[in-house]
Amino acid sequence: MAVTAAVDEAFRTEWGRVVATLIRLTGDWDLAEECAADAFARALDTWPRDGVPRRPGTWLTTAARNRALDRIRRGAAESGRLRQLAPLVDDDPPPDEEDAVPDDRLRLMFTCCHPALPLEAQVALTLRTLAGLTTLEIARAFLVPEATMAQRLVRAKRKIRNARIPYRVPPAELLPERMAGVLGVLYLLFNEGYSTERGELAEEAIRLARVLVELLPDPEAGGLLALMLFQESRRAARTGDGELVTLAEQDRSRWDHAMIDEGVAVLDEMFAAPGPYQLQAAIAACHATARHAADTDWRRIADLYDLVSRMSPSPVVSLNRAVAVAEVDGPAAGLALVDGLRDELKGYHLLAATRADLLRRLDRHEEARAAYEEAVAQAPTDAERRFLARRLAGLTAASGTSAC
Mean pLDDT over the full length of the chain? 86
**Burial class of 92 by CB neighbour count within 10 A (0 to 12, 13 to 18, 19+):** exposed
Q: What number is the average pLDDT over the span 151-177?
A: 87
pLDDT at 324 over 90: yes
Handedness of CA 239, 243, 246, 251 (dihedral sign): negative
CA count, 13 A, side-chain hemisphere, 24: 20
The pLDDT score that the predictor gives to residue 106 is: 81
**pLDDT grade for 95, boundaries at 50, 70 and 90:** very low
The pLDDT score that the predictor gives to residue 81 is: 53
Condensed to tens digits (0 to 9), the pLDDT of residues 354-404 reads: 999 999 999 999 999 999 999 999 998 888 899 999 999 988 766 654 443
Q: Report CA-CA distances (Å) from 101 to 17, 59, 68, 394.
A: 6, 13, 17, 57
**pLDDT grade for 198, boundaries at 50, 70 and 90:** low
Condensed to tens digits (0 to 9), the pLDDT of residues 218-277 reads: 899 999 999 999 999 999 898 887 788 999 999 999 999 999 999 999 999 987 778 899
The pLDDT score that the predictor gives to residue 363 is: 94
pLDDT at 98 over 60: no
CA distance 151 to 138: 12
The pLDDT score that the predictor gives to residue 193 is: 79
pLDDT at 101 over 50: no
Q: What number is the average pLDDT over the span 325-343?
A: 96
The pLDDT score that the predictor gives to residue 367 is: 95
Look at 168 and 282; give whichever has higher pLDDT.
282
* Phi and psi, residue 86, nearest 5°: -50, -45
**pLDDT grade for 147, boundaries at 50, 70 and 90:** very high
pLDDT at 339 over 90: yes
**pLDDT grade for 89, boundaries at 50, 70 and 90:** very low
Q: What percent of the chain has pLDDT over 90?
A: 48
The pLDDT score that the predictor gives to residue 97 is: 41
pLDDT at 310 over 80: yes
pLDDT at 282 over 80: yes
Q: What number is the average pLDDT over the span 166-183?
A: 84
**pLDDT grade for 87, boundaries at 50, 70 and 90:** very low
Q: Which residues of 287-301 are buried (b: 16+ CB within 10 A; e: fewer)?
A: bbbeeeeeebbbeeb
pLDDT at 335 over 70: yes
Nearest CA to 192 out of 201, 183, 184 is that of: 201
The pLDDT score that the predictor gives to residue 316 is: 92
pLDDT at 92 over 60: no
Condensed to tens digits (0 to 9), the pLDDT of residues 32-70 reads: 999 999 999 999 888 888 888 889 888 999 999 999 988
